[in-house]
Structures are given as structure tokens and as C-alpha cells.
Amino acid sequence: MKPLTREWVAKAEGDFASARRELRARRDPNYDSACFHAQQCAEKYLKARLQEAGVAFDRTHDLALLLDRLVTLEPEWELFRPDMRRLTTYAVAFRYPGSSATKDLAREACGHCVRVRAAVRARLGLEVSRRPVSTSTPRARGTERKTRGRGRQR
């Protein structure tokens, strides 16, 4: 896999973890945030797939535009158009006063995200699980364990 594709995947996994965490929060859940991060996860996974395929794309949050690029390469992605339409609205719909997401809407957004994530990960040859997948290297994970709880390092 290309290094930039890996970076897109890592960013997408961060958004996936954030969306799931907010959706599952028992105290003070932020369903607006869950919807936003679900959209961001799908966006970054589409960009990862395009990057890996060598297809250029602009800086955009419009998932339909990204999907249009991907469909020219792999027509089966057209099945995701309804998911992309719904998720695109979550990029900005709940960021401003006047509208708030409900738990059901956040659950729906995360469902769309899970489907897109699974499809892209499968196409990239990555493990498909419902949990966020660690994208840090074994060395980095080992370093985190060594420094945890020691205070300031010298």
C-alpha cells in the first residue's frame, strides 16, 4: 500500500473511533459529533481508495463527487450513492445552531460509515472489523507503553 494511502486510512480510523465513542457515550453524548466524524471517516476512506488507485481528487467534503471519481474506475461503488448523499449532509448540518442530531440519526450515520469503511478496507486488503484498527507501528505502541506513567522523560 502507498504511504499516503496509509495516512488516509489512519486519519479515517481516528474519525471512526471518535464517531463510535460519541455514539456509545453514556454521559454527555455528542450526537452532532458522531454524525460529523462518521462523514469524515467515509470521506477519508474514499480518498484512501482513490489515492491507492492513482486517481486525482480535489479538496472536497462532497462524498458524491468523490464517489463519481471512484465509480469511473470501479462501477460497483454506485451502490453506495444513497449512503454518500446522507453522509455528505452531516459534514455541516449539525455544526451550526438551529439543528441537532438525535441518537437515531447518529446511529444511522455510523451505519453508513461502517458500510463504506468495510468496503474500502476489503478493497485495500485490510482487516475488516467493527472496531477501530490501530494504525500505529509496533515500535510506536511499545514506546507508548514504556513511557506511560513515568512522568517526564529525560
Q: What is the mean pLDDT of the chain?
A: 86
Domains of the chain: 3-147 (1.20.120.330)
Report the alpha-carbon distance of residue 61 to residue 87 in Å, rounded. Answer: 10
pTM of the model: 0.83
Q: Which of 3-12, 84-93, 95-104, 126-135 has the lowest mean pLDDT?
A: 126-135
